[in-house]
Amino acid sequence: MLRLDRTTYDAIVAHAKRDHPDEACGIVAGAEGSDVPSRHIPMINAAGSPTFYEFDSTELLALYKDMWARDEEPVVVYHSHTATEAYPSRTDIGLANEPGAHYVLVSTAVHGNSEGPVEFRSYRIIDGVVTEEEVSVDDTLLAPAEQ
Protein backbone atom coordinates (compact mmCIF):
# COMPACT_ATOMS: atom_id res chain seq x y z
CA MET A 1 0.00 0.00 0.00
CA LEU A 2 1.10 3.54 -0.71
CA ARG A 3 0.34 6.05 2.03
CA LEU A 4 0.51 9.67 0.99
CA ASP A 5 -0.31 12.85 2.85
CA ARG A 6 -3.04 15.02 1.34
CA THR A 7 -0.72 17.94 0.48
CA THR A 8 1.59 15.74 -1.59
CA TYR A 9 -1.32 13.97 -3.28
CA ASP A 10 -2.90 17.30 -4.24
CA ALA A 11 0.44 18.66 -5.50
CA ILE A 12 0.98 15.65 -7.78
CA VAL A 13 -2.55 15.97 -9.19
CA ALA A 14 -2.10 19.73 -9.72
CA HIS A 15 1.20 19.12 -11.51
CA ALA A 16 -0.38 16.57 -13.83
CA LYS A 17 -3.27 18.94 -14.66
CA ARG A 18 -0.93 21.88 -15.20
CA ASP A 19 1.29 20.05 -17.69
CA HIS A 20 -1.55 18.38 -19.60
CA PRO A 21 -1.50 17.54 -22.55
CA ASP A 22 2.20 16.79 -22.00
CA GLU A 23 3.15 14.13 -19.49
CA ALA A 24 4.16 15.44 -16.06
CA CYS A 25 6.76 13.64 -13.97
CA GLY A 26 8.50 13.80 -10.64
CA ILE A 27 9.35 11.97 -7.48
CA VAL A 28 8.60 12.01 -3.79
CA ALA A 29 11.74 11.34 -1.81
CA GLY A 30 11.84 9.87 1.66
CA ALA A 31 14.33 8.71 4.24
CA GLU A 32 16.23 5.66 3.03
CA GLY A 33 14.49 2.46 4.11
CA SER A 34 11.51 4.29 5.61
CA ASP A 35 9.02 3.82 2.74
CA VAL A 36 7.61 7.20 3.82
CA PRO A 37 7.26 9.72 0.97
CA SER A 38 8.04 13.10 2.47
CA ARG A 39 9.59 15.49 -0.06
CA HIS A 40 7.81 16.19 -3.34
CA ILE A 41 10.08 17.18 -6.21
CA PRO A 42 8.29 18.01 -9.46
CA MET A 43 10.63 17.49 -12.42
CA ILE A 44 10.64 18.94 -15.90
CA ASN A 45 9.71 16.48 -18.63
CA ALA A 46 12.75 16.92 -20.87
CA ALA A 47 10.89 15.06 -23.62
CA GLY A 48 8.10 17.69 -23.53
CA SER A 49 5.76 15.11 -25.01
CA PRO A 50 2.18 13.86 -24.60
CA THR A 51 3.40 10.27 -24.95
CA PHE A 52 6.83 10.19 -23.28
CA TYR A 53 8.61 11.51 -20.24
CA GLU A 54 12.23 11.64 -19.25
CA PHE A 55 14.09 13.54 -16.56
CA ASP A 56 16.83 15.74 -17.99
CA SER A 57 20.13 13.94 -17.38
CA THR A 58 21.82 16.87 -15.62
CA GLU A 59 18.79 17.43 -13.38
CA LEU A 60 18.63 13.70 -12.70
CA LEU A 61 22.18 13.71 -11.34
CA ALA A 62 21.53 16.82 -9.24
CA LEU A 63 18.37 15.20 -7.85
CA TYR A 64 20.13 11.99 -6.85
CA LYS A 65 23.13 13.77 -5.36
CA ASP A 66 20.77 15.86 -3.26
CA MET A 67 18.95 12.73 -2.08
CA TRP A 68 22.23 10.96 -1.26
CA ALA A 69 23.35 13.96 0.79
CA ARG A 70 20.09 13.74 2.76
CA ASP A 71 20.15 9.92 3.08
CA GLU A 72 17.00 9.78 1.01
CA GLU A 73 15.79 7.60 -1.82
CA PRO A 74 12.95 7.88 -4.33
CA VAL A 75 9.89 6.48 -2.53
CA VAL A 76 7.44 7.50 -5.26
CA VAL A 77 8.20 7.93 -8.96
CA TYR A 78 5.19 9.46 -10.72
CA HIS A 79 4.12 10.50 -14.18
CA SER A 80 0.91 11.22 -15.98
CA HIS A 81 -0.80 9.66 -18.93
CA THR A 82 -2.72 12.32 -20.78
CA ALA A 83 -4.74 10.25 -23.26
CA THR A 84 -4.76 6.78 -21.74
CA GLU A 85 -5.58 5.07 -18.47
CA ALA A 86 -3.34 5.21 -15.40
CA TYR A 87 -1.74 1.84 -16.04
CA PRO A 88 1.97 1.28 -16.80
CA SER A 89 2.70 1.02 -20.52
CA ARG A 90 5.19 -1.45 -21.94
CA THR A 91 7.70 1.39 -22.04
CA ASP A 92 7.01 2.26 -18.40
CA ILE A 93 7.57 -1.35 -17.39
CA GLY A 94 10.74 -1.73 -19.46
CA LEU A 95 12.26 1.43 -18.01
CA ALA A 96 11.22 0.97 -14.37
CA ASN A 97 14.63 0.94 -12.69
CA GLU A 98 13.79 1.68 -9.06
CA PRO A 99 12.73 -1.66 -7.59
CA GLY A 100 12.02 -0.07 -4.21
CA ALA A 101 9.77 2.70 -5.49
CA HIS A 102 6.01 3.04 -5.74
CA TYR A 103 5.25 3.89 -9.36
CA VAL A 104 2.32 6.30 -9.40
CA LEU A 105 0.35 6.97 -12.56
CA VAL A 106 -2.13 9.82 -12.89
CA SER A 107 -4.44 9.94 -15.87
CA THR A 108 -5.66 13.35 -16.98
CA ALA A 109 -7.38 11.85 -20.02
CA VAL A 110 -10.92 12.73 -18.90
CA HIS A 111 -10.68 16.30 -17.58
CA GLY A 112 -7.34 17.56 -18.91
CA ASN A 113 -6.37 20.91 -17.40
CA SER A 114 -9.84 21.39 -15.92
CA GLU A 115 -11.27 20.69 -12.51
CA GLY A 116 -12.55 17.20 -11.99
CA PRO A 117 -11.33 13.88 -10.73
CA VAL A 118 -8.27 12.09 -12.08
CA GLU A 119 -7.36 8.46 -12.06
CA PHE A 120 -4.57 8.05 -9.47
CA ARG A 121 -3.08 4.56 -9.13
CA SER A 122 0.07 3.04 -7.72
CA TYR A 123 2.14 0.00 -8.68
CA ARG A 124 5.22 -1.95 -7.84
CA ILE A 125 7.22 -2.77 -10.94
CA ILE A 126 9.93 -5.34 -10.30
CA ASP A 127 11.70 -7.34 -13.01
CA GLY A 128 8.94 -6.51 -15.46
CA VAL A 129 6.16 -7.65 -13.14
CA VAL A 130 3.48 -5.08 -12.35
CA THR A 131 1.56 -5.33 -9.09
CA GLU A 132 -1.10 -2.74 -8.34
CA GLU A 133 -1.44 -1.58 -4.76
CA GLU A 134 -3.93 0.42 -2.75
CA VAL A 135 -3.40 4.18 -2.38
CA SER A 136 -4.32 5.65 0.97
CA VAL A 137 -4.47 9.44 1.17
CA ASP A 138 -4.17 10.36 4.78
CA ASP A 139 -5.44 13.73 5.96
CA THR A 140 -3.92 13.22 9.37
CA LEU A 141 -0.36 12.75 8.13
CA LEU A 142 1.71 15.84 8.65
CA ALA A 143 2.27 17.75 5.47
CA PRO A 144 5.96 17.70 4.61
CA ALA A 145 7.81 20.96 4.73
CA GLU A 146 7.83 22.61 1.34
CA GLN A 147 11.26 23.09 -0.14
Q: Using CA atoms, how far apart are residues 50 and 24, in angstroms rounded to an integer?
A: 9
Among 10, 35, 36, 50, binds other proteins (CB under 8 A): 50
- DSSP string covering 69-126: HTTEEEEEEEEEESSS-SS--HHHHHT---TTSEEEEEE-TTTTTSSS--EEEEEEEE
Q: Using CA atoms, how far apart are residues 10 and 4, in angstroms rounded to an integer?
A: 10
Residues 125-144 that bind other proteins (CB under 8 A): none
For residue 34, state whether it binds other proteins (rule: CB under 8 A): no
Q: Using CA atoms, how far apart are residues 109 and 86, in angstroms rounded to an integer?
A: 9
Which residue, 57 or 140, has its beta carbon nearer to other proteins?
57
For residue 27, state whether it binds other proteins (rule: CB under 8 A): yes
User: At closest approach, how far in Å is the CB of 84 from other proteins?
Assistant: 5
Give the interface with other proteins as residue ranges (CB under 8 A): 23, 25, 27, 43, 47, 49-55, 57-58, 60-61, 64, 73, 77, 79, 81-84, 88-89, 91-92, 95-100
